[in-house]
């Protein structure tokens, strides 16, 4: 006789039955994350200026991305490298959102910045360095905005889901888990892409699961292969770093795709999305906002 299974230590994030699947929705748009759709988030590692940001936003939208990523506050290993434009970058992201209709994903790195970032962002990103920052998890949990939670460098799957549980205990149920590679002995890639984490997370939790192939790879020549593998394994979407001129990027230049490379990746991704039985989420025109070139809200 089989012993009864132990209850999962994350009752809010854990999957109780196969029919319960969280779908994150964005008001006043047709954009969703989770369910029977694949959603792609794309944009620069860091916001470097308005002209660059609007160029990349229009480009990634044309190729099929439906949310715009861009760092305003950047936690960097070295204190001497570019760490973001702060509130100025948040204002640029909001302006570009009004022009393109792309909801904004940006990282919050400090409890003191949560309310400020939430004024501008549609999705609050918790980076790998902060997955164990429980004070920060609680702060974003008290808001009613989606949270993109990245797996820590050396975090187990259970620890990652428990981090999501910390957010959800504060009342925020719109949590998206992001596999971004884990640190191992391998040096051929920036991190080791744990593709097995995707189906395991799908069994363990009802939350959407996205993949960040940029940080997993740390290089552009295998980005498409990792993206295809992620969708084949059941991921609900991707978050990809794209820069109009990657060689000029102030951060993560080696892993930033050009607009042409991103377009090629999206074209190659199409058959994998179809084979998974899902469809790609696309962003329409911003509702009630003029879209002619040069318009600034």
Instruction: Give the chain's radius of gyration (CA, Å).
Output: 18
Structural domain count of the chain: 1
Is 53 among the domain residues? yes
pLDDT in the model for residue 77: 65
Is 173 among the domain residues? no
pLDDT in the model for residue 173: 96
**Global pTM value:** 0.92
pLDDT along the chain (297 residues), means of 10: 69 85 92 96 96 97 97 74 81 96 96 95 96 97 96 96 97 97 96 98 97 97 98 98 94 94 97 97 63 33
Is 104 among the domain residues? yes
- Helix axes 197-204 and 157-168, enclosed angle (nearest 10): 40
Q: Model confidence over 37-83: pLDDT tens digits? A: 999 999 999 999 999 999 999 999 999 999 999 999 876 667 666 66
CATH of the domain at 97: 3.20.20.70
Is 151 among the domain residues? no
**CA separation for the pair 277, 297 (Å, rounded):** 38
Cβ atoms < 10 Å from Cβ of 167 = 27
Is 148 among the domain residues? no
The answer to whether 192 touches 179, Cβ cutoff 8 Å, is no
Q: What are phi and psi of 179, to 5 degrees?
A: -85, 125
- Running DSSP on this structure, what letter comes out for residue 255? G
Cβ atoms < 10 Å from Cβ of 119 = 11
The answer to whether 39 touches 33, Cβ cutoff 8 Å, is yes
pLDDT in the model for residue 115: 95
Q: Model confidence over 172-203: pLDDT tens digits? A: 999 999 999 999 999 999 999 999 999 999 99
- Running DSSP on this structure, what letter comes out for residue 164? H
**CA separation for the pair 173, 220 (Å, rounded):** 34
pLDDT in the model for residue 88: 93
pLDDT in the model for residue 71: 93
Q: Is the torsion defined by CA of 283, 175, 239, 74 positive or negative?
A: positive
Q: By residue range, what is the domain housing residue 207?
A: 24-75+82-108+180-280
Is 238 among the domain residues? yes
pLDDT in the model for residue 82: 60
Is 261 among the domain residues? yes
> Which residue's entry shows tokens 């999305």?
273
Is 136 among the domain residues? no
- Running DSSP on this structure, what letter comes out for residue 276? T
Characterize the bridge pairing of strands 32-33 and 24-25: antiparallel
């Amino acid at each position: 006789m089989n012993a009864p299974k132990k209850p999962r230590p994350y009752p809010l994030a854990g999957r109780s039955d196969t029919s319960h699947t969280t779908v994150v929705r964005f008001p006043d748009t047709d954009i969703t994350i989770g369910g029977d759709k694949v959603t792609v988030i794309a944009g620069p590692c860091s916001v470097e200026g308005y002209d660059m940001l609007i160029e990349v936003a229009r480009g990634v939208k044309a190729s099929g991305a439906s949310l715009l990523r861009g760092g305003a506050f950047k936690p960097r290993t070295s204190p001497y490298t570019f760490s973001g434009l702060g509130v100025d970058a948040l204002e640029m992201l909001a302006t570009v959102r009004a022009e393109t209709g792309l909801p904004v994903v940006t990282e919050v790195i400090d409890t003191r910045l949560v309310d400020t970032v939430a004024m501008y962002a549609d999705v609050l990103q918790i980076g790998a360095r902060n997955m164990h920052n429980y004070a920060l998890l609680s702060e974003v949990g008290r808001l009613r905005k989606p949270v993109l939670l990245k797996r820590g460098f050396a975090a187990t799957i259970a620890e990652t889901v428990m981090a999501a549980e910390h957010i959800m205990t504060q009342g925020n149920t719109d949590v998206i888990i992001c596999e971004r590679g884990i640190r191992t002995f391998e040096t051929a890639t920036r991190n080791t892409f744990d593709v097995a984490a995707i189906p395991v997370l799908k069994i363990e939790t009802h939350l959407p699961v996205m993949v960040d192939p940029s940080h997993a790879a740390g290089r552009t020549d295998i980005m498409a292969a990792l993206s295809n593998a992620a969708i084949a394994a059941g991921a609900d979407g991707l978050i990809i770093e794209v820069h109009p001129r990657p060689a000029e990027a102030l951060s993560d230049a080696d892993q930033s795709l050009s607009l042409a490379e991103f377009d090629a990746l999206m074209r190659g991704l199409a058959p994998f999305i179809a084979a998974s039985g899902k469809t790609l989420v696309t962003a329409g025109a911003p509702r009630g906002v003029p879209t002619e070139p040069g318009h600034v809200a």
